[in-house]
């Protein structure tokens, strides 16, 4: 026997226990509506749970794939440290032990690069420099060197290159820095190569013929807080060709008992005097360059011919 309650034309409960509502009014009764809502909510929750579980499984698979790719990449990087790969690393350990292993790897990588026919890919035409696009000026400067570059290989630190006759690469006293020299022995580019297996990277950047810099050697014996005369120099291929006169910089302000705690006014006056003297010395050097026909000395690739 079905028991029904009627409220303003709507049946409250038709008495049905399955999905079909038996309300004679043709409008779903409240009891069936609530039951259908619960069924629908339960089905949606189950579907949502299934989607979440599926997504978690897919994410886990993705993470596993990425981890495997990273592992393979690291393995490949380790293999590329030297041509001998892992055997080279073991040989380093056998010959010299683990002490200084990284330093020996870097030194050996430097020698391998200098003796090879390759240059770092990063910084050469068609690439970016530390993530920034190369300017037209730098592209033109590379073209003027006459270096012939091979194709860029995705994922490779180096690319084949043919240097002009007489050009060479030279090691510096630092295992991660080398120089690219032209046929006159002038440094034309700086090469950076870190051959350590855990952080292997390399790049190259063109150098300007002229540099204006402070003469740090002239003040190495001066105390930290003492006043001194600042001098700037013009370097032509790293050789001094002009130096400014000295411009006085006052002694470093100090507080009571010699402590480096000074008033803001004292510090501001010192900084203004220091910056003014350094600017005068630098301006004198730049004026010399302009007077001698090197007005565009800051342009990469200028005045090498």
Which is higher by pLDDT, 26 or 255? 255
Structural domain boundaries of the chain?
6-60, 86-207, 212-291
Average pLDDT value for residue range 1-26: 51
170-to-31, 93, 116 alpha-carbon distances in Å:
89, 27, 11
Lowest mean pLDDT among 131-140, 148-157, 198-207, 263-272: 263-272
What is the spatial distance between Cα 25 and Cα 35, in angstroms, rounded to a whole number?
18
CB under 8 Å to 228, separation ≥6 — which residues?
A: 219, 222, 248, 249
Which of 2-11, 155-164, 211-220, 287-296 is the least confident region? 2-11
Q: What is the rounded CA–CA span in Å between residue 251 and residue 233?
A: 22
E strand intervals along the chain: 6-7, 10-11, 118-120, 128-129, 132-133, 148-149, 158-162, 168-171, 177-181, 187-194, 201-206, 210-214, 228-230, 232-236, 239-243, 247-249
pLDDT of residue 123: 92
- Whole-angstrom Cα distance, residue 240 to residue 211? 9
Average pLDDT over residues 159-163: 94
pLDDT digits (tens, 9 = 90+) for 179-212: 999 999 999 999 999 988 778 889 999 999 999 9
Pairing relationship of beta strands 158-162 and 148-149 according to DSSP bridges: antiparallel
Write down the pLDDT at residue 7: 42
Is the confidence at residue 91, as pLDDT, over 60?
Answer: no
Over residues 41-65, mean pLDDT? 75
**Per-chain mean pLDDT for the chain:** 79
């Amino acid at each position: 026997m079905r028991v029904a309650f009627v409220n303003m034309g709507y049946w409250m409960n038709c008495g049905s226990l399955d999905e079909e509502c038996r309300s004679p009014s043709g409008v779903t009764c409240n009891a069936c509506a609530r039951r259908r809502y619960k069924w629908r909510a339960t089905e949606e929750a189950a579907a949502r749970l299934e989607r979440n579980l599926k997504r978690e499984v897919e994410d886990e698979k993705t993470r596993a794939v990425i981890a495997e790719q990273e592992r393979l990449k690291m393995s490949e990087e380790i293999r590329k440290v030297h041509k001998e790969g892992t055997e080279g690393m073991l040989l380093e350990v056998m010959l010299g032990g683990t002490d200084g292993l990284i330093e020996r790897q870097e030194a050996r990588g430097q020698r391998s690069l200098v003796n090879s026919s390759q240059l770092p890919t990063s910084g050469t035409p068609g690439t970016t420099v530390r993530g920034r696009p190369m300017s037209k000026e730098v592209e033109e400067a590379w073209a003027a060197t006459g270096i012939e570059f091979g194709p860029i290989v995705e994922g490779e630190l180096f690319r084949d290159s043919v240097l002009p006759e007489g050009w060479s690469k030279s090691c510096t006293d630092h295992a991660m820095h080398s120089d690219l020299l032209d046929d006159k022995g002038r440094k034309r580019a700086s090469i950076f190569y870190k051959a350590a297996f855990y952080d292997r990277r390399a790049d190259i950047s063109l150098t300007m013929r002229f540099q204006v810099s402070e003469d740090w050697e002239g003040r190495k014996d001066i105390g930290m807080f003492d006043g001194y005369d600042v001098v700037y120099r013009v370097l032509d291929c790293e050789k001094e060709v002009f130096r400014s006169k000295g411009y006085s910089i006052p002694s470093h302000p100090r507080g009571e008992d010699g402590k480096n705690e000074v008033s803001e006014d004292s510090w501001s006056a010192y900084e203004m005097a220091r910056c003014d003297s350094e600017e005068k010395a630098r301006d004198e050097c730049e004026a010399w360059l302009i007077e001698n026909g090197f007005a565009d000395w800051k342009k990469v690739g200028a005045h090498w011919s």
